[in-house]
Amino acid sequence: MNGHGYTLIHLTDTHLRHPGELLFGALDTWARTAEALRAAARYRPDAVVVTGDIADCGRDIYAGAAGLFARAGRELGCPVIVLPGNHDVPGTRAWTAEEFTGSRTDTGPGPGDDVHFVGGLRLITLDSDDPGQPAGRLTGEQLHWLDTVLAEPAPDGTVLALHHPPVDSLLPQLAGRGLARPAELAGVLAGTDVRAVLCGHYHHAVSGRLGAVPVWAGPAVSYGQDLLAPPGTVQGVDSSWLSVIRLGEGSFSAVPVPLQPAGAVVFSRNAVHPQTTAHPGAVPAAGTIRSDRPLPEPIRAPGHPYRQQPLLPVAEGEPVAAP
């Protein structure tokens, strides 16, 4: 295990339309996706994982999306790993372009079923779409392939990524729209080195467990679900998010990060390091003590030495920007 663990940036549900075309006539999803990739730089990720619905309504935007993700990968110095969702058309030539699959080390039954390695951490992606059906589905062929891959543990364990969550949404309006027959997947994962399952699809954050494995369904880059919508109503809200995933020795955490201001700042003060307090256990008064110790910087995975990265875009090289 890399002694300092791994940091993944999890993006989902970008819902990209043709450049210049706004989602719902109001949301520039290209700009939101570019902003999410720029914001990822501050967390110095070992990989970016994008869990589907890259396009909105199967629109042919994949060549542009592949270029955007490839530029981000070069600027961030890490792979951007992409898988399809129910709004995508994974069989298109653009989807299988080298930009979407360049870091994979093995392939499965169909487009989107891939294995990637980041240092000693293995990331497996699965296409969970069941065309024409509200719920996602993994075929017997996919489950058998996954079982075969997981038979050999990875040095630092495995993260599984798919679009449809194997846990329920908080909203009854979304009932039956997650992964169908999640127990089948749970049976494959039982006793393996899988440390977490990352998903999207619901457009709101959900945490849960599939057997003993933590599940994180991240909030969307494009827009959010209104969790207080009237019964029987599905209502989108203007919000944009990324998730920061951290994997340590025996630990997993997922933090949703809003990409838009949440409201007015009600306080701002210098952080205080616990060891600068007058005596053990003392709580310092706000603003009375300043720490002279810098915050520790996370160390990148083996094979991915950290280099100082500005927030994107940068003056040199290709900036991450909407087409």
Tell which residue, 279, 287, 309, has the closest CA to residue 44: 309
Whether omega for the bond prior to residue 313 falls within 30 degrees of 0, making it cis, is yes
Among 149-153, 234-238, 279-283, 317-321, the minimum mean pLDDT is found in: 279-283
Pairwise CA distance, residues 103 & 308, whole Å: 22
- Return the number of other C-beta atoms located less than 10 Å from residue 59's C-beta: 16
Tell which residue, 322, 316, 283, 306, has the closest CA to residue 7: 306
Among 21-25, 249-253, 263-267, the minimum mean pLDDT is found in: 263-267
Note whether 196 and 157 are within 8 A (CB): no
285-316 pLDDT tens trace? 433 333 344 434 444 444 544 333 333 333 33
CATH architecture, domain defined by 6-258: 4-Layer Sandwich (3.60)
- Return the number of other C-beta atoms located less than 10 Å from residue 304's C-beta: 19
- Return the number of other C-beta atoms located less than 10 Å from residue 292's C-beta: 6
CA torsion, points 233, 224, 47, 118, in degrees to nearest 10? -20
Sign of the four-CA dihedral 132, 136, 140, 146: positive
Pairwise CA distance, residues 198 & 83, whole Å: 11
Statement: residue 182 has pLDDT above 50: yes
Tell which residue, 119, 146, 177, 137, has the closest CA to residue 302: 119
Pairwise CA distance, residues 303 & 309, whole Å: 17
Pairwise CA distance, residues 238 & 69, whole Å: 23
Statement: residue 148 has pLDDT above 70: yes
Pairwise CA distance, residues 80 & 11, whole Å: 10
Q: Which amino acid is present at 194?
A: V
Pairwise CA distance, residues 8 & 246, whole Å: 6
Q: How confident is the model at residue 205 (pLDDT cuts 50, 70, 90)?
A: very high
For the chain, the average pLDDT equals 85
Average pLDDT over residues 215-221: 98
Average pLDDT over residues 198-211: 97
- The encoded tokens of residue 195 equal 């440390």
Rg (CA), the chain: 20
Note whether 100 and 129 are within 8 A (CB): no
Pairwise CA distance, residues 167 & 28, whole Å: 30
Host H or E run for residue 306 = none
HSE at residue 194, side-chain half, CA atoms within 13 A, is: 28
pLDDT of residue 293: 42
